[in-house]
Amino acid sequence: MAVLGLGRSGLSASRALREGGAEPLCWDDSPEARARAEAEGFAVRDLARAGGFEGVRWLVVSPGIPHLYPAPNPVIAAAWEAGVPVDNDIGLFFRSFGSGDWAMFDQPPKVIAVTGSNGKSTTSALIHHILQSAGRDCQLAGNIGRGVLDIDPPADGGAVVLELSSYQTDLARALTPDVAVFTNLSPDHLDRHGGMGGYFAAKRRLFAEGGPDRCIVGVDEPEGRYLVNQLSEAPEDDRVIRVSSGRKLSGPGWDIFARKGFLTEWRKGRQMASIDLREVRGLPGAHNHQNACAAYAAARALGIAPRVIERALHSFEGLPHRSQIVAEAGGITYVNDSKATNVDAALKALQAFPRIRWVCGGLMKEGGLKALAPGFANVAKAYVIGREAAGFALGLADLEAEVCTDMGTAVRRAMSEAQPGEVVLLAPAAASFDQYDNFEKRGEDFAAHVRTALGLQTGL
């Protein structure tokens, strides 16, 4: 069993394969990664060379490695030529999930898989939090939490919540969740998927490949409405739960929507429950209300009562770098939304607060910044960071913008001009790689500058 890519998921897959009796053959372009694998006793082989796949039955690929667009990795192309099936750790997980012990369980464990463009991590973490609050044995894995092959064997009646990116759903040869969640869709990773159609197709595989028992689909974009239509057998088919933020849904099926700060559940033409989300501190803004609806739907699909879910929503503290309140002082709130790496996510953050001092900028993605315009009414001023800060500022139309370049300058300027009642918000609308290793490092830097200036502890 060959393994390509020796980061977290690759090493985890290698360990799991060895434990299961296979002989992993590992490869990574990085000498340091190969050295780490060898230190754990794994054999290393350059799989792209002639004869690299001799004796190999399967190739497991880490999610960051392109397998088709913009060009196939040479090792994957060699696997094709050798007739070796290509898979990833998610596919291995679904193929191997389950054991003989399950025959003694009263309730087989469930897998809830969450995908979409924005809100996957918050939705996944919130489902996990609700299930734990309800007393259910639950583990969080995939793109968040533990690697899928590192989790513990699930208990009787337990659950595994997986956050899955398009990179993971696109290649997995097995995708069989009990409950599948599609949050929303906006342009992202388009080079990796050959355009928007390929990107949506990668997400759609979660629903098309394994036939989940229950599908939860955000219908605020055409792709979501298309997916619902493909999955439903009739208008009253409540195996599909429609989710929306901002508009009322109606019909004979199962609908959950948030409007004017209230989450409402309708089923078979009747209102089943309503929750006031306005005071749920860990879920500010319409985008988080959409996440709440999706998580609520998943919990209801597993039989959790509405009041139990409501209590869990109020105790949810949110995730780092996703609408995370890092400090409050002098009537000013400081919010770290470093995960808003694309325009759609940043727009949702801008629409979540009424008056904003906006720290933004970084490595811009395709499509420009025009789609941010509906959120500009909430922005008092922008403070732009990044190596191309001047160019980014020019894309903000008539919005007052100050080129700051580095995070420290941007935070100091925003704090000096902020007034009581305002929010100093980091929502970059761009990738972090021009200045930081990842969005987490960027968010930590923002929080550290804020807390230093306020004389608070700098740790997240």
Q: Which residues are annotated as a binding site for ATP?
A: 116-122
Pairing of strands 262-267, 254-259: antiparallel
In the DSSP assignment, the letter for residue 455 is T
- Residue list for the binding site: 116-122
The span from the CA of 263 to the CA of 72, in Å, is 44
The span from the CA of 294 to the CA of 178, in Å, is 15
In the DSSP assignment, the letter for residue 363 is B
The span from the CA of 357 to the CA of 423, in Å, is 6
The span from the CA of 254 to the CA of 265, in Å, is 8
Cβ atoms of 149 and 92 closer than 8 Å:
yes
Written as six digits, the tokens of 191 are 């080079």
Please name the helix (run of DSSP H) or strand (run of DSSP E) that holds residue 44, with its range, or none. strand 43-44
Strand partners, 444: none
Cβ atoms of 215 and 231 closer than 8 Å:
yes
Written as six digits, the tokens of 53 are 């796949």
In the DSSP assignment, the letter for residue 153 is P
Cβ atoms of 204 and 239 closer than 8 Å:
no
